[in-house]
């Protein structure tokens, strides 16, 4: 099944996003743009057929949330927060180390990206085996 804005809104229908025809609500155009961004980096061959749509939905939600956050912050980048203290109240967030490695760190900045990474992890690693033998000269 090909993901589109209707399928996205049906899946995320519990108030995760506020949908509507005008800004600041999430428009179909916003979802379509996030789908296009997700497809630019999404490799469906990493997943069994039954998990492809779910992984693409979460990656789309990640890109949509990133775009919404960028709009709300005036375009400031989203950084990982490790600690914060205001008026005697402290907060620190822990993200698993494997999510922070290399190019994966960009996806760990939103809940949706973390869900995408969690869904993707089983398909990203590969087994390495050694087989004894020789080669011909």
Going from N- to C-terminal start, the domains of the chain cover 5-76+102-124
pLDDT tens-place string over residues 97-132: 888 888 888 888 887 888 788 788 877 776 666 677
pLDDT tens-place string over residues 7-53: 999 999 999 999 999 999 999 999 999 999 999 889 898 899 999 99
The pTM for the full model equals 0.70
Cα–Cα distances in Å, from 66 out to 40, 76, 79, 90, 108? 15, 11, 11, 25, 11
Strand runs labelled E in 40-108 = 84-86, 89-91
């Amino acid at each position: 099944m090909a993901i589109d804005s209707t399928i996205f809104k049906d899946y995320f229908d519990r108030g995760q996003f506020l949908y509507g025809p005008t800004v600041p609500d999430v428009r179909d155009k916003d979802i379509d743009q996030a789908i296009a961004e997700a497809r630019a980096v999404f490799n469906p061959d990493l997943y069994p057929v039954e998990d492809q749509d779910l992984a693409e939905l979460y990656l789309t939600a990640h890109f949509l949330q990133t775009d919404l956050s960028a709009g709300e912050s005036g375009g400031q980048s989203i950084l990982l927060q490790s600690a914060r203290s205001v008026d005697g109240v402290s907060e620190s967030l822990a993200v698993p180390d494997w999510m922070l490695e290399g190019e994966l760190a960009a996806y760990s900045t939103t809940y949706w990206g973390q869900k995408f990474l969690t869904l993707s992890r089983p398909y990203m690693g590969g087994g390495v085996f050694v087989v004894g033998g020789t080669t011909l000269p």
